[in-house]
């Protein structure tokens, strides 16, 4: 993770406060101002902590700073006790020092205000190799144009936690690596080569169970249907496709124009850096198909099957229809709309669909799925 540069640390500000106290004390009003400044520092520290909650290096830095602050506050209390004693013993000698401390405190307050202005407003997150960071956010799921089937209605606002998504569809090469390291059933390579002739083409003729097994091996998972549409839209609103409202062969492999898949990454990515999220091969999702899903859609992290951990654990026993999204090299303009929903039996394997994986930023058991 990369963080915005903060030129003045909370620790150095606290040390500055201690240096003031060491100049032989202050009156009650000034003590109150110092306390307020310390509180300000702690508030800023809390803000920085919240902004970097998902970054281990920042958490360690904050813990070290917090420990330093506790130690320094104890030292301040000890110094205040010394000052109280000195005030009783040598009050005249303190008068001139106290007069100058207002200026020092004012300068310290200006430094704190400068720090507030330089707090980072955005944190850059480095995604794992060959994945893209999909930021948390809110979007409208469904078809705002009312061009699709009834299961794309009603359009609703949902919130999605941040996650990572594969930059491209899983390739033939990547799937071969999976097979070489496991005892998983091998696919029909003759059928695959007919439509994905090289190792850099997307794997296809893959069942939902195959895709789930691969994702587990990669320590990833399939995207939920709502995650997939959110990522496919790439931050756009009221658009039919990942790039806008119009479609042509410059954007995507579709409508049998080539007659097979193309190598992954052959077309420009969407705004989230995802290649071929529409077209090339349609993509398996984690959810089962529910025609009325949008009617009862949860407000946050919706998932059609309720308990996501249960679905992953018993994946080999699942027989209900599973969601497929994105359209394929064979699909038309309607199939490639980001709102379009499709489904197949989990045991189906076809030349039209493959998959890509996602990875949550935190354990899935710690995510609030179907939260209102």
CATH code, domain with 166: 3.90.1580.10
The answer as to whether 82 is a domain residue is: yes
The answer as to whether 5 is a domain residue is: no
**C-alpha dist (Å) from residue 235 to 123, 140, 302:** 18, 10, 18
Give dist(CA 301, CA 160) in Å, integer. 5
Total-model pTM: 0.69
The answer as to whether 1 is a domain residue is: no
Q: Is 172 found in the same domain as 55?
A: no
Q: Is 255 found in the same domain as 202?
A: yes
Q: Does residue 171 carry a pLDDT above 50?
A: yes
Give dist(CA 258, CA 273) in Å, integer. 24
Q: Does residue 229 carry a pLDDT above 50?
A: yes
Q: Domain end: 117, 145, 166, which one?
A: 117
Question: What is the pLDDT at residue 216?
Answer: 98
Question: What is the pLDDT at residue 85?
Answer: 72
CB-based contact 135:159 (threshold 8 Å): no
- Domain span at 76: 10-117
pLDDT band, very low/low/confident/very high, at 74 (cuts 50, 70, 90): confident
Q: Is 163 found in the same domain as 105?
A: no
Top pLDDT among 163 and 55 is at 163
Q: Is 282 found in the same domain as 152?
A: yes
State both tokens at 251: 């954007």
Question: What is the pLDDT at residue 1?
Answer: 37
The answer as to whether 4 is a domain residue is: no
Give dist(CA 363, CA 248) in Å, integer. 39
Per residue in 263-275, pLDDT tens? 999 999 999 999 9
Give dist(CA 133, CA 150) in Å, integer. 31
3-state secondary structure of 47: helix
Average pLDDT over residues 203-224: 99
Q: Domain end: 94, 117, 140, which one?
A: 117
Q: Domain end: 72, 92, 117, which one?
A: 117
Q: Does residue 310 carry a pLDDT above 60?
A: yes
Question: What is the pLDDT at residue 312?
Answer: 97
- Give the range among 14-18, 31-35, 38-42, 220-224 with minimum mean pLDDT: 14-18
Q: Is 357 found in the same domain as 261?
A: yes
DSSP conformation class of 244:
B
Q: Is 60 found in the same domain as 99?
A: yes
DSSP conformation class of 98:
H
Average pLDDT over residues 96-106: 61
Average pLDDT over residues 176-202: 98
Top pLDDT among 78 and 130 is at 130
First to last CA, the chain: 31
pLDDT band, very low/low/confident/very high, at 62 (cuts 50, 70, 90): low
The answer as to whether 123 is a domain residue is: no
Q: Is 76 found in the same domain as 159?
A: no
Among 192, 162, 160, residue whose Cα is nearest residue 176: 192
Average pLDDT over residues 286-310: 97
Q: Is 261 found in the same domain as 136?
A: yes
- Give the range among 94-98, 105-109, 191-195, 331-335 with minimum mean pLDDT: 94-98
Q: Is 139 found in the same domain as 113?
A: no
Q: Is the dihedral of CA 244, 246, 251, 257 positive or negative?
A: positive
The answer as to whether 91 is a domain residue is: yes
Top pLDDT among 106 and 372 is at 372
Q: Does residue 7 carry a pLDDT above 50?
A: no
Highest mean pLDDT: which range of 64-68, 84-88, 199-203? 199-203
Q: Does residue 11 carry a pLDDT above 70?
A: no
Number of folded domains in the chain? 2
* Mean pLDDT value across the chain: 85
3-state secondary structure of 343: strand
Per residue in 271-295, pLDDT tens? 999 999 999 999 999 999 999 999 9
Q: What angle do CA 346, 350, 355 make, to 5 degrees?
A: 65
Q: Is 97 found in the same domain as 228?
A: no
The answer as to whether 150 is a domain residue is: yes
Q: Is 160 found in the same domain as 53?
A: no
Q: Is 96 found in the same domain as 38?
A: yes
Residues 6+ apart with CB under 8 A from 182: 213, 217
The answer as to whether 2 is a domain residue is: no
């Amino acid at each position: 993770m990369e963080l915005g540069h903060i030129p003045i640390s909370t620790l150095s500000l606290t040390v500055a406060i201690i240096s003031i106290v060491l100049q032989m004390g202050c009156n009650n009003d000034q003590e109150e101002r110092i306390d307020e400044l310390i509180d300000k520092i702690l508030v800023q520290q809390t803000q920085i902590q919240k902004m970097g909650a998902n970054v281990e290096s920042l958490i360690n830095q904050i813990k070290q700073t917090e420990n330093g602050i506790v130690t320094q506050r104890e030292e301040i209390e000890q110094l205040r006790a010394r000052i109280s004693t000195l005030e009783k013993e040598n009050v005249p000698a303190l008068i001139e020092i106290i007069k100058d401390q207002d200026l020092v405190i004012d300068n310290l307050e200006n430094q704190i205000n400068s720090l507030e202005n330089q707090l980072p407003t955005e944190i850059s997150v480095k995604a794992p190799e060959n994945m893209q960071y999909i930021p948390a956010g809110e979007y409208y799921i469904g078809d705002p144009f009312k061009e699709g089937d009834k299961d794309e209605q009603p359009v609703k606002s949902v919130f999605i936690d941040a996650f990572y998504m594969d930059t491209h569809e899983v390739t033939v090469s990547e799937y071969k690596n999976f097979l070489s390291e496991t005892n998983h059933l091998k696919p029909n390579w003759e059928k695959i080569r007919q439509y994905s002739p090289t190792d850099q083409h997307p794997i296809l003729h893959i069942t939902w169970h195959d895709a789930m097994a691969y994702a587990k091996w990669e320590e990833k998972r399939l995207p939920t249907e709502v995650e997939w549409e959110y990522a496919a839209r790439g931050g756009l609103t009221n658009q039919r496709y990942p790039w806008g409202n119009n479609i042509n062969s410059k954007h995507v492999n579709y409508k049998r124009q080539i007659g097979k898949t193309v190598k992954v990454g052959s077309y420009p990515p969407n705004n989230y850096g995802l290649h071929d999220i529409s077209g090339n091969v349609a993509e398996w999702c984690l959810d089962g198909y529910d025609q009325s899903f949008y009617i009862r859609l949860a407000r946050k992290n919706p998932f059609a099957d309720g308990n996501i951990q249960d679905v992953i654990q018993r994946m080999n026993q699942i027989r209900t229809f599973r969601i497929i999204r994105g359209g394929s090299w064979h699909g038309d303009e309607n199939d490639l709309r980001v709102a379009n929903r499709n489904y197949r039996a989990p045991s189906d394997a076809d030349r039209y669909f493959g998959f890509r994986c996602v990875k949550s930023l935190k354990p899935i058991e710690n995510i609030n799925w179907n939260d209102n």
